[in-house]
Amino acid sequence: MSMFVSILLLIAGFVFLVKGADWFVGGCSSVAKLLHVPSIIIGLTIVAFGTSAPEASVSITAALKGSNDIAIGNVVGSNFFNLLVIVGICAMIKPMKVSKDIMKNEFPQSIIVGIILLVLCLDTFILKSEANTVGRIDGIILLALFSVFVFIQIRNALKAIKGRKSAPDGLVLEAADVEVHTLSPLKSILGIVIGLALVILGGDFVVDSATAIARAVGLSEAFIGLTIVAFGTSLPELATSIVASKKGENDLALGNVVGSNIFNILMVLGASAALNPVNVSMDSIYDLIILAIVSIITYILARRKYEISRLSGGIMCAMYAAYVVYLFVR
């Protein structure tokens, strides 16, 4: 496969992933609406899954093909990009007011989830195994935690609707803001089938082309997964967060990023590992440690006056640039 063809397939894969996820979510949301499922539940489940569908498709495909560095690199790299670049850019567009609820609940949860993943990866240190692996049992644990997280979000959303909670957090606000367009049953089913097919095909294109590009230019699959692939699969989060920030709905932007990062680890990597164990290199262990540190730094920046200033946003983007340089030279 030539470099030119690989790049074309990579771009086509990203387009398929984003458009396929959009059609899939539209079809599923329409079916749910026809079944009289409340919009806020649709927002917290189907739509939230849709923004993480590109990461899920790429990581699951990579895990099944044995491309472990891309499988875990895509998730970790996407979380880095979401946290530092998307939040950083949104803060530079307009200083980001931060909900106390997000700082009390979802943001700490995202840090804890990252640390849990790190612990699950330390097989050689904890279990004295020969290799570090996110195994099937680890994947099931992550999926179980994901189920608990979604249950809590739905419960909080229903409480907010009933007026028991005076200030719903960003994730609940985002879900409540979802507008579901009802399609005919046939169009809904076609959207689900075609969308799912595009997501699967897009994931296959991205993994194969990214692997070919890495080999052609002499870069590791981990570097490609942590940067180019992660950027492409984070496009839905980037678009929705920038739109929310421009509208002054910063809770939605931060809630979208934090929720997506939790989804990526618990659902995306959980499903990938449950289907096929993912071997974890020491470089990936270091990446997870850096992610935990960066998450804590971002939390501290956001906790000050419950606002992420333009300066803080610039610092976050600079941290991401420094991380990419570190990846290139290591």
Q: Are 99 and 169 in contact (CB under 8 A)?
A: yes
Look at residue 214 in the predicted model and tell me its pLDDT: 87
Tally of CB atoms within 10 A around 151: 10
Domain ranges of the chain: 3-329
Residues 6+ apart with CB under 8 A from 105: 169
Look at residue 166 in the predicted model and tell me its pLDDT: 46
Look at residue 291 in the predicted model and tell me its pLDDT: 96
The CATH architecture assigned to 3-329 reads Up-down Bundle (1.20)
Separation of alpha carbons 170 and 155, rounded Å: 15
Separation of alpha carbons 45 and 35, rounded Å: 15
Tally of CB atoms within 10 A around 88: 24
Q: What is the pLDDT along the chain (330 residues), one digit of tens a residue?
A: 688 899 999 999 999 988 888 888 788 888 877 877 766 566 666 767 777 888 889 999 999 998 999 999 999 999 999 999 999 998 998 888 888 888 888 899 999 999 999 999 999 888 888 889 999 999 999 999 999 998 888 887 777 667 655 445 555 555 545 555 677 888 889 988 998 899 999 999 999 999 899 888 888 888 999 999 999 888 877 887 787 777 776 666 777 788 889 999 999 999 999 999 999 999 999 999 999 999 999 999 888 888 899 999 999 999 999 999 999 888
Tell me how far the alpha carbon of residue 83 is from its chain's centroid.
10
DSSP codes, 40-103: HHHIIIIIHHHHHHHHHHHHHHHHHHT-HHHHHHHHHHHHHIIIIIIHHHHHHHS-EE--HHHH
Separation of alpha carbons 134 and 68, rounded Å: 10
pTM of the complete model: 0.85
Look at residue 113 in the predicted model and tell me its pLDDT: 96
| 218 DSSP assignment | T
Which residues are paired to 308 by β-bridges? 96
